[in-house]
Amino acid sequence: GVITFQIGIHGIPLDLKAEAYGSLQFGALKDYMYHRMNDRENYYYNRVFLGCIRANDFLTALPQYDGKNLAAYGGSQGGALALITTGLDPRVTACVANHPALSDMAGYKAGRAGGYPHFFRTEGMDTPEKLKTMAYYDVVNFARLIKVPTYITWGYNDDVCPPTTSYAVYNTLDCPKEALITPINEHWTSNDTEYGQLQWILKHLK
């Protein structure tokens, strides 16, 4: 009884043969998160964030849309984009994010684990321009804007999106919020967790 819409962020068709995506990973999309990091206004994720809002424009224009409910849901990079979209778009009424990436990205500068994509593992990232870009696109900034119910999960054994980075986001949220912390989890969620999240979304429909 709900509309679902899943998007790819790169503007590449989602119906290509599997081998095509493998070649893109080592070609046009290789290290895409580093593209134009010296230019905050033209960084790769600028277009991605705006594309998420355009996806909502499409959803809310559908005749089946009820005009009231719009949830953002994702994990890892998708979890980051769910939170960012919720912070930017007042049409979103609920948000679920699993182990969000792009969170506390410059944490390494303060002596703690930073979030994916772990820029400081690459030489030459510690420059004023790149730090400015990281700060601008960090999920924590958008979490401050969220006012609707939000549910975040993360695991203590996650070395892709370390738990400290999810705590940074969760502690910043000033909205009705819930957390599911799974001490054994690495960078994954169980079927039970994902089913519970879908139930949570349905519970928050108006």
The reply to whether omega before 176 is within 30° of 0 (cis) is no
Residue 158 designated active-site = yes
Give, as one character, the DSSP assignment of residue 115: P
**From CA 99, how far away is CA 115, in angstroms rounded?**
10
Helix axes 44-61, 77-88, angle to 10 degrees: 70
Kindly name the residue from 99, 103, 138, 187 that is annotated as catalytic: 187
Kindly name the residue from 138, 158, 166, 204 that is annotated as catalytic: 158
DSSP bridge pairs for 72: 95
Residue 76 designated active-site = yes
Instruction: Show Cβ contacts of residue 2 under 8 Å, excluding neighbours closer than 6 positions.
Output: 69, 202, 205
Write down how long the chain is: 206
Q: Count Cβ atoms within 10 A of the Cβ of residue 103 and give its class: 0-12 exposed, 13-18 middle, 19 or more buried.
A: buried
**From CA 9, how far away is CA 25, in angstroms rounded?**
13
Kindly name the residue from 76, 104, 118, 138 that is annotated as catalytic: 76
Tokens 């169980």 belong to 190
Residue 174 designated active-site = no
Query: In 3-state terms, what secondary structure has residue 183?
Result: coil
**From CA 119, how far away is CA 137, in angstroms rounded?**
13
The catalytic residues are: 76, 158, 187
